[in-house]
Amino acid sequence: MASFHAQFPEFDSHVRAVFAEQSFMRGIGAEIGSVSPGRVEIVLPFRDDLLQHHGYLHGAVIAAIVDTACGCSALTLMPAGSTVLTVEYKINFMAPAAGERLVARGQVLRPGRKLTVCSGEAVAVVEGNEKPVAALMATMVRVPPAGESEQ
């Protein structure tokens, strides 16, 4: 994987602040874990109210967590004050998600001035072992801070 560098020193706190603004993430109990240039990890404890009819974590919740991990990973490489929106993603579900928690990891594959391509994965943690449950490819667009021209 390529080595990336953040554009400003406070990127970690900025990403965490943007994540904290997401009421959906708070509502489902997701927490941001590690943050480094081009990579972000989000952890979600399994809860009964997030399960589908077979007792597995709902696919929509999995997709949201991995999408958010990818968006946050893209944000780590953007200029100060930026935010990010998803342009598109494709997800493959590889196995049902059951266990103690879900870990979603997003990583930048190619950053750009406007568009950033990311990949993400979700693993279910069962008794300390990780089981891959989903893989995602996404494109993120930079949203500049108010007042900055989009060039």
Query: pLDDT tens across 2-42, in order?
Result: 799 999 999 999 999 999 999 999 999 999 999 999 999 99
* Coil, helix or strand at residue 66: helix
Q: Which pLDDT score is estimated for 57?
A: 98
Q: How far is CA 116 from CA 6, 15, 39, 76, 77, in A?
A: 14, 16, 13, 11, 9
Q: Which pLDDT score is estimated for 73?
A: 98
Show the domains of the chain with their CATH numbers: 11-143 (3.10.129.10)
Instruction: Name residue, tokens 């069962």.
Output: 126
Assessment of whether the complete model's pTM goes beyond 0.85: yes
Point out which residues pair with 25 in neighbouring strands. Answer: none
How confident is residue 1, by pLDDT bands cut at 50, 70 and 90?
low
- Tell me how far apart the alpha carbons of residues 117 and 89 are, in angstroms, rounded to a whole number: 10
Sheet strands side by side (includes 115-126): 31-36, 39-45, 101-110, 115-126, 129-143, 83-93
Cα–Cα–Cα angle for 23, 25, 26, nearest 5°?
A: 65
Higher pLDDT, 23 or 145: 23
Q: Which pLDDT score is estimated for 150?
A: 59
- Count of alpha carbons within 13 angstroms of residue 40, beta-carbon side: 29
Lowest mean pLDDT among 11-20, 65-74, 142-151: 142-151
